[in-house]
Amino acid sequence: MIALIGFLIALAVGITGIGGGSFTVPALVLIVGMPAASSVGTAFVFAGVLRLLAAPFYLAGRHVHWRYLRLLIQGAIPGLLLGTLLLRLLSKAGGNPGIVVILGVILTVSSSISFFSRLQNQNFAHKNSHWLPWLALPIGVEAGFSSAGAGALGTVLLLNYSEMTPPEVVGTDILFGLVLAVIGSLFQWKFGAIEGGVLWLLLAGGVPGVLIGSLLARRVPARRLKFVIALIAIFAGLQLIWTGSRSTAKRPSATTVRAAPRAASN
Contact by Cβ (8 Å): 203, 49: yes
Cα dist. 63→58, 132, 139, 164, 230 in Å? 5, 19, 22, 9, 19
Going by pLDDT thresholds of 50, 70 and 90, the confidence category of residue 254 is: very low
Sign for the CA dihedral angle at 145, 239, 209, 2 comes to: positive
User: Count of residues for the chain?
Assistant: 266
pLDDT in tens, 87-120: 667 654 445 566 667 767 777 777 787 777 776 7
pLDDT at 236: 75
Mean pLDDT of 40-66: 88
Helix boundaries (H) for 116-165: 124-127, 132-146, 150-161
pLDDT at 93: 45
pLDDT in tens, 212-252: 988 888 777 766 777 777 787 788 778 778 877 876 666 55
Average pLDDT, the chain: 79
Q: Which amino acid is at 74?
A: Q
**33 Ramachandran zone, left/alpha/beta (phi>0; psi -120 to 50):** left
Mean pLDDT of 13-25: 79
Cα angle at 108 between 8 and 159, to 5 degrees? 80
pLDDT at 256: 47
Rounded to 5, what percent of the chain is helix, strand, coil? Answer: 80, 0, 20
Going by pLDDT thresholds of 50, 70 and 90, the confidence category of residue 255 is: very low
Percent of the chain with pLDDT over 70: 79
pLDDT at 261 > cutoff 60: no
Question: From the CB of residue 185, how many other CB atoms can be counted at a distance below 10 Å?
Answer: 21
Percent of the chain with pLDDT over 90: 18
Contact by Cβ (8 Å): 147, 47: yes
pLDDT at 69 > cutoff 90: yes
Question: From the CB of residue 6, how many other CB atoms can be counted at a distance below 10 Å?
Answer: 27
Among 44-58, 125-139, 184-198, the least confident range? 184-198
User: How do the domains of the chain map onto residue ranges?
Assistant: 2-248
- Between residues 181 and 134, the one the model is more confident about: 134
Cα angle at 79 between 169 and 126, to 5 degrees? 35
Contact by Cβ (8 Å): 150, 18: no
Can you tell me the distance from the alpha carbon of 13 to that of 226, in angstroms, rounded to the nearest whole number?
A: 14
Q: Which amino acid is at 247?
A: S
- Between residues 241 and 7, the one the model is more confident about: 7
pLDDT at 129: 87
Contact by Cβ (8 Å): 169, 159: yes
Going by pLDDT thresholds of 50, 70 and 90, the confidence category of residue 208 is: very high
pLDDT at 250: 65
